Amino acid sequence: MSETSFTPRVFSGIQPSGNLHLGNYLGALKRFVDWQAKDMETIYCMVDLHAITVWQDPADLKKSTRELCAGFIAAGLDPEKSILINQSQVPEHAQLAWIFNCVARMGWMQRMTQWKDKAGKNAQNASLGLFAYPALMAADILVYHATHVPVGEDQKQHLELTRDIAIKFNHDYGVNFFPETEPVIEGAATRVMSLRDGTKKMSKSDPSDASRINLIDDADTIAKKIRKAKTDPEALPSEVEGLEERPEARNLVNIYAAMAEMTVEQVLADVGGRQFSEFKPMLADLAVAKMSPITTEMARLMQHQDEIDKILAKGALRAREITAPILRQTYDIVGMVAPVSL
Ligand code: ATP
Ligand code: MG
């Protein structure tokens, strides 16, 4: 069986670990919506089992999960077209992850930069789940035999690991059962940086709220955060080369380009030579224009939590039609005795 014999299928996820931000939107969510428009099955997941690899307040986790689902729908995901699920409601993810824990090697996990960044100097005190996280992510993807995974740049290494796990499983058991998944990292904003530090990724888990634009921020907050964003004293360049060694300037121009659906070259042709005092209000206006319809719709959807819960329950039923047979086949390949009917 060659790789191309797998039916093309798209899977991706976002953690309910805090507020959705502009990086999640441009690097992931907006791409999810683009893939939904293609003629392929699309499955999008709120990965709550990943979120608890670091401490989450239980009430906040429930709220963030529903808010994330509201964000998915407000941004344009249609629960009739895409399968929208909460990871913990589809138990096959965690079941396949255990098998992959036995396929992946300690050395592979130790090399993961996200593990090093998130565990930091305190690795002995980090959860075992944080270390094993990439094996669960491989299971999230491969339990659907997904072939395409749209993500931001920071997930590239985890997707390479997903391929390594699929290859080793196929090799060890002499099968061609799991596809070698393609990472899809595309667009002008695959790595949106913090507004406070152009060398750090914008993240939900950054303790500074000023570092990110949240999808739930109101217009004034967005304008204020952009006004206060770190920059340098130079005017904007007219050529892309002029952004080298200027991480903060490059970040703001990239954000503008991604939101305006322009290339960086086109943006610089328009704004080259201008000061940040002029460019920042332009960026703030654009951000508010693009985000506020999503924010308003998210707030409306959050008034109907029972509807959100039903969407997730329906999504889980549809998802399990795919995941249950794949897990059963995996168990059989590995040599587990299936229960007979009594
Ligand atoms: P956390 O800090 O809890 O890890 P996060 O902000 O990194 O949260 P994730 O849920 O880990 O968000 O990632 C969800 C998706 O958003 C992934 O595809 C990831 O690559 C993408 N993403 C996250 N941050 C950015 C960013 N700054 N720029 C572009 N894409 C991003
Ligand atoms: Mg992350």
311-342 confidence digits (pLDDT tens): 999 999 999 999 999 999 999 999 999 999 99
Nearest ligand to the CA of 51 is 1
Contacts of 213 (CB under 8 A, 6+ apart): 21, 22, 195, 202, 222, 225, 226, 287, 291
Q: Is the whole model's pTM more than 0.75, yes or no?
A: yes
Inform me whether the pLDDT recorded for 137 exceeds 70.
yes
DSSP H helices, the chain, are 22-24, 30-36, 48-51, 58-74, 92-101, 106-110, 113-119, 128-142, 156-173, 219-228, 247-260, 264-271, 276-302, 305-334
CA gap 24, 30 in Å, rounded = 8
- Whole-number pLDDT of residue 187: 82
Which residue's alpha carbon is at the smallest distance from atom 26 of ligand 1?
23
Instruction: Dump pLDDT digits (tens) for 174-195.
Output: 999 999 998 899 887 999 999 9
Q: Taking Cα atoms as reference points, which of 86, 44, 42 lies closest to residue 65?
A: 86
Which residue's alpha carbon is at the smallest distance from atom 20 of ligand 1?
152
pLDDT band, residue 121 (cuts 50/70/90):
confident
Cβ-contact 237, 268 below 8 angstroms? yes
Instruction: Dump pLDDT digits (tens) for 16-62.
Output: 999 999 999 999 999 999 999 998 999 999 999 999 999 999 999 99
CA gap 153, 316 in Å, rounded = 28
Ligand 1 centre to CA of 172 (Å) is 32
Is residue 280 flagged as an active site residue? no
Instruction: Dump pLDDT digits (tens) for 191-248.
Output: 999 999 999 999 998 999 999 999 999 999 999 999 999 999 999 999 999 999 999 9
Residue of 11, 14, 116, 117 to mutate, ligand 1, most atoms within 8 A of C-beta: 14
